[in-house]
Amino acid sequence: MPPPPPQDRQEMRRYWDEKISWWADSSYEEHPRGPVDRLMAHLRRSVHARAVIALEMLRPHLAGKTVVDVGCGNGHFLHCCLEAGAAHAVGIDISPAAIEEARSLAKRHGTADRSEWHVGRAGDGTLPPGDFVTGFGLVDWLEKDECMQFFKALHGRHFVFSFSEMDGSFDEWVHYFYLIKRLEWFGNGVRAYHHPRRTILRRLQRASIDDVQVVARREMRFGRLVHNLHTLSR
């Protein structure tokens, strides 16, 4: 079977321009619309959980540091990092609408002078300087080549990112058909992915990154965190 065509970046940008407010509300504020969205909001509580867990991991190291969040959405996680002591935050997202929401959030919380926001895409293979790189949900939206470019850009950096693992659980299957298959059928060139853990680790090794830890906790359901923060003490 031939590989799928490359993702349409314009369609991906349009998709997130339209979805970002609703996604952030249902993931962090929990204001879902309708019965199907309520079910998916229940699953998306894992999005909130992974942010909480990642912040717990980063908190001891944040004082005076810069955090670069790729696929930052409305900037929720970076705002939490600034509240936890980070000196500066850099958010990158493919969606101009998301970046505008992030700027507005920063102004409302008085952190505009300690943050910057850029429209961009992780698969471009370059990242701005910073002490920590984060990316939650990001890898699920990258094609293989883009994923490799992102991983190569992580080389030599401290990072925490997430991925959705193919674990065969009920929640994973529901999400798979709701999102992955729905986009495959009706996504107009936009796709998302769940990954076997071995695929993520193999790609990291190809990017010369092999000293990592994978965090799996019940509240994240099929979400996993990958990080190399344990190397900070060396």
1 within some domain: no
4 within some domain: no
2 within some domain: no
86 within some domain: yes
185 within some domain: yes
Q: What local confidence, expressed as pLDDT, does residue 1 receive?
A: 43
Q: What local confidence, expressed as pLDDT, does residue 25 receive?
A: 60
- Boundaries of domain holding 95: 9-233
How sure is the predictor about 2, in pLDDT bands with cuts at 50, 70 and 90? Answer: very low
Q: Residue 42: pLDDT above 80? A: no
Q: Residue 8: pLDDT above 80? A: no
Q: How many domains does the chain have?
A: 1
Please state the rounded mean pLDDT for residues 188-202.
95
Instruction: Quote the pTM value.
Output: 0.88
Task: Give the tens place of pLDDT for each residue, 107-142.
Answer: 999 999 999 999 998 877 789 999 999 999 999 999
Three-class SS string for the chain?
CCCCCCCCHHHHHHHHHHHHHHHHHHHHHCCCCHHHHHHHHHHHHHHHHHHHHHHHHHHHHCCCCEEEEECCCCCHHHHHHHHCCCCEEEEEECCHHHHHHHHHHHHHCCCHHHEEEEECCHHHCCCCCCCEEEECCCHHHCCHHHHHHHHHHHCCCEEEEEEEECCCCHHHHHHHHHHHHHHHHHCCCCCCCCECHHHHHHHHHHCCCCCCEEECCHHHCCEEEEECHHHHHC
**Which CATH number is 205's domain given?**
3.40.50.150
Task: Give the tens place of pLDDT for each residue, 198-219.
Answer: 999 999 999 999 999 999 999 9
